[in-house]
Structure 1
Amino acid sequence: MKRKTKEENGKPTKSPKPKKRKSVVMEPIHINPKYLKDTYESEFKKGFEKSKRPFPHWQLRNFVENSDNSVEKVEEELQNFEDWQRKENDLYSLYQTNDLKSIDPTVHPAIFSFRQFLYTEVKEWLQKVSGVELTEQVDCNGSCYARTDSLLPHNDLIETRRFAFVYYLTAANWDSVVNGGDLQLFNHDKKLQPTTVATQFAPLRNSLILFEVSQTSWHRVAEMLSEEPRLSINGWFHSTRRIEPKKPAAESIKRFIPEKKFKLSNLINEEFLSKERQNEVQETFSDNSELNLSGFLTDSIHNEIYSELISNPSCFDTVGPVSKRHVARLNEEKTDDLETTNRLIKCLKSTNFAKLAAKLTGVTVSGAETSVKVSRVEHGTYWVLGDEDAEQSTTDGYCLDVHLFVQKTAWEDEAGGELIYIAEEETEELLRISPSPNAASVVFREPGVISFLKYANCKASDPFFLLTVSFYNVKVVDD
């Protein structure tokens, strides 16, 4: 029966034609048959044995059966994907897509097919070979690491995650020595904290890395050293199991109340000791709650301290755990030969320096608990944040930080190593402080504001030294 036509002004009109839909060719993707053999199940379960250190993990080479070039098709679509987003914080820097669950099959049929492959065939296979019942939830997104990008040590332990996976779409001739980007798995200590690298895997094309998520599944992506893109699809399979992650203690830096006097004029630029200049600085600080003072130390003192510190690396101890920090801190028990450095440290611990900080900022620090730490910052240095740091910041109340930079040359803009302040549960930076020779950066921070040092990458040249004086629970007087 024909559809009747509508009439307009007594004349018949044609029915509107339905819009043409783009046809989608869905090419199926399958697991390499060698992993589907019954004998492989027992091979897979060996990964759960205690001898498989540092935690259960598997590398499956040539994971996708690629007779119809499906790997190349997924790679091409992912390379030309329009929604890459730059992601950068204390833990990582990379390009990433949103979860691929919303991928449009008419625009990206190969990626859609791969997502469906993960949701169905891979999930069912993983349940069978592992013996672990998985839920319907599968998270997956695209990741791309470019030069200097990295992902610092972490264990992925969030809610119901059970198995993490990474499927690599990298160049067939990937060279880890030239490109970097290896996946590194860490040993752990009795407190379940990560220690040293136990094993590592190059991101080999068409290989799948799987590991069981737990309190000890510490891993990282080593820094990328070249422009060769490290392209992957990665995510998690979930089960009903939940493990509450252990919260590490905040770093313990010795605190004291300044009691001894020390003459400042031989160390600190006399410009900042004049009342007129102090009033100018305080007025600027009251408007911004932060400022940068160039040439804070006398040039000769700055240069002597740099010479002492750069010539005595054995005076520094590297502190961790690597999931929290990798930084060399000055051990004051090893500083007998650092004459000028010791003088400056005594100065920073004195009542005179506390009074100077108060005059420059208008913040009352008299009687406040104080700490002084000296860090050597070079390629590979970082510290990251956790809930314990936010809790400590709340306990510490209002604080005043004074950061002194001792360095020979200007720091490369893209080398990392910046101090970054953020507010608890916020992603927007409040302040970024770039290293600068003989500069003092002064910051007033509220409870819940925390700071980290961005990973210093392969563009870093000469090390610099960061001396940080913090005054805790300072008095705030309203105007």
Structure 2
Amino acid sequence: MSSKRKSAKPEADVKSKKSKNKSKCHIDVNKIFDDEQALQRIRNFVVFQERRKNSDNYDTGVVQACKSPFFHCVLSKLVQNENFVESLMDEVLDLNFVEKNNDLYKFHQSTEDLKTTKLPYISALREVIYNDVREWIMKVTGIELTTQVDMSCAMYRYTDVLSCHDDELDDRRVAFIYYLVPPSWKEDDGGRLQMFSLDENGEPKEIVKNLIPVQNSFVFFEVTPASFHQVEEILTEDKTRLSISGWFHGPRVDRPPPYVETLPAPCLPISIEEDEFYSWINPQYLDTVTQASIKETFVEESQIELSNFLQENKYEELVSLLSSIDKSKWSNKGPPNKRNYLVVDQSEVPDHVRKCLNFIQSDAMFVLLSSLTGLKLHELAEVSDSEGDEEENQKQRGDTPCCHCEVRKWQHGSYTLVHDTDTETKLCALDAVLYIGCEDWQPEYGGTTSYIAKGEDEELLSVCPSPNSLALVYRDTETLKFVKHINARVKDTQHQGFMDITCVYYE
């Protein structure tokens, strides 16, 4: 656990760019903006729902419009003169960038305000987007847009990613991306704009459309409760996915209330034989002096890591059996705007794994965790200092301490996100995660669990997977958590992922 430039260009290049910037730059935009007949045909398709050969697609070669999974449109060439595009890329690459990194994304964003910059090529593009493009989109979609336009530059490099989201915020109405990627960009490089279908609850279900970035192409889509999309992780170390993106704003529209998940069914403490309990736990954690020391640390810091928690033979068998579970028995846990990892049905796990789950949910474990943390997790435990939190929990959940467990598998692409409808964060709880099969795991792979305060970006705590360790963290209602996206670096490791058994205990 832990509490939480770019290279210089040759002088000749800099001089040439400076002299270039002093000259007047000329931009030739796509002739589609002046083609009234093409505009009417696209408008008929988009606004008046005219179907073409029973297809949801409209493609002229210059413009591709599609209604599924939500309305989006691709203009193959926004700018006609290639020299302008090359100079624009040079100008953008000379900007200063800062890393943006949280639960949802990891990439670099320009620090310069593109709304006010006087750099010639960016200014010329901005005028086109603010005027020609905005007016054309209004005519095509029938959406009234204000003059407010957000615009920034994003740079995605190896392992950078933007996870599933819908872009809905305030009065955003249309999102756009203008690509400045190398001409050689291909599917294997990653970085595709991926669009999701919806499930019966209006949540994202699965990726049904992929758009490969193409230099000088301009993509836009309507921001709606259905516009779930993501930027696929960058899988190449040799190329940079550069883009200028943002939102057009307009009158707010009514949105349906978001779907709220119910908490998993709670499990009451399980009775197991005393000898069975002792056969699993490392004897050092039964020592009263050790327990007192752990409790002192936990009360002070609200977290602790218990290394070598299980007896070695039990742990090794657990690793072996969980690793050998057939792939078909692991199912994806979503929806992807909240989480993406694998779980196994607890009724189908090997007997040894089932016994471990019984041990973790046992009456004796509730008593032990009470002794280690000072929380009121069992009637035999002393009254804790968190009595106020305990009473509030009981009002919302019930009078008896309980828990719920999952057996999870983490691999490339796995993550969890912070979200507004998370019912679990409405209750104070003790998070307990037993890490399995994560030998030599490095934080740079992702997979660390981060805790943050509501409304804040700075980490309060970061928990990195460590084999046979039990991470205990007390979480109040003002604390959020997420598991960082596991990136492509893990594919070169021995295990290419790890497993854990997570259990959330309620007083």
TM-score tier after normalising by the smaller chain length: 0.7 to 0.9
Which letter maps to 1:60? Answer: L
Corresponding residue for 1:39? Answer: 37
* CA distance in structure 1 between the partners assigned to 2:485 and 2:173 by the alignment: 29
2:482 to 441, 444, 452: 452
Which letter maps to 1:382? Answer: Y
Which letter maps to 1:468? Answer: T
Corresponding residue for 2:290? Answer: 277
The more displaced of 325-334 and 123-132 is 123-132
* CA distance in structure 2 between the partners assigned to 1:148 and 1:101 by the alignment: 26
Deviation of 1:369 (Å): 2.3
Which letter maps to 2:333? Answer: V
Deviation of 1:133 (Å): 2.0
Aligned residue runs from structure 1 range 5-154, under 5 A: 25-45=23-43, 46-47=45-46, 49=49, 51=56, 52-66=67-81, 69-82=83-96, 84-98=97-111, 100-105=113-118, 108-154=119-165
* CA distance in structure 2 between the partners assigned to 1:296 and 1:34 by the alignment: 66
1:314 to 328, 340, 362: 328
The more displaced of 406-415 and 445-454 is 406-415
Structure 2 counterpart SS, 1:140 = strand
Aligned residue runs from structure 1 range 399-478, under 5 A: 399-460=429-490, 461=493, 462=495, 463-472=497-506, 474=507
Report the identity percentage: 31
* CA distance in structure 1 between the partners assigned to 2:193 and 2:255 by the alignment: 25
Which letter maps to 1:38? Answer: E
Q: Please, which runs of 5 or more residues in structure 2 have no aligned partner?
A: 1-20, 57-66, 379-399
Deviation of 1:99 (Å): 7.1
Deviation of 1:262 (Å): 4.2
Aligned residue runs from structure 1 range 123-272, under 5 A: 123-177=134-188, 179-227=189-237, 228-244=239-255, 246-250=257-261, 252-263=263-274, 264-272=277-285
Corresponding residue for 1:375? Answer: 408
Corresponding residue for 1:13? Answer: none
Structure 1 counterpart SS, 2:408 = strand
* CA distance in structure 2 between the partners assigned to 1:392 and 1:440 by the alignment: 20
When normalised by structure 2's length, the TM-score is 0.83
Alignment RMSD: 2.0
Structure 2 counterpart SS, 1:158 = coil
The more displaced of 241-250 and 302-311 is 241-250
**Quick check: 1:159–1:242 contact (8 Å CA) kept in 2?**
no
User: Are residues 140 and 102 of structure 1, via their aligned partners in 2, closer, same or farther at CA, if it must alter by over 3 Å?
Assistant: closer
**Quick check: 1:157–1:243 contact (8 Å CA) kept in 2?**
no
Please list the CA deviations of residues 288-334 of structure 1 after superposition, one character each: whole Å capped at 9, or x if unmatched.
11111111111111111111111113332212111111111121122
More helix by share: 2
**Quick check: 2:438–2:499 contact (8 Å CA) kept in 1?**
no
Corresponding residue for 1:8? Answer: none
User: Are residues 238 and 30 of structure 1, via their aligned partners in 2, closer, same or farther at CA, if it must alter by over 3 Å?
Assistant: farther
Which letter maps to 2:499? Answer: F
Deviation of 1:24 (Å): 5.2
Which letter maps to 1:119? Answer: Y
**Quick check: 2:27–2:124 contact (8 Å CA) kept in 1?**
yes
* CA distance in structure 2 between the partners assigned to 1:144 and 1:321 by the alignment: 27
Corresponding residue for 1:287? Answer: 300
Which letter maps to 2:405? Answer: V
**Quick check: 1:262–1:347 contact (8 Å CA) kept in 2?**
no
User: Are residues 403 and 286 of structure 1, via their aligned partners in 2, closer, same or farther at CA, if it must alter by over 3 Å?
Assistant: same
Count of aligned positions: 442
When normalised by structure 1's length, the TM-score is 0.88
* CA distance in structure 2 between the partners assigned to 1:189 and 1:351 by the alignment: 39
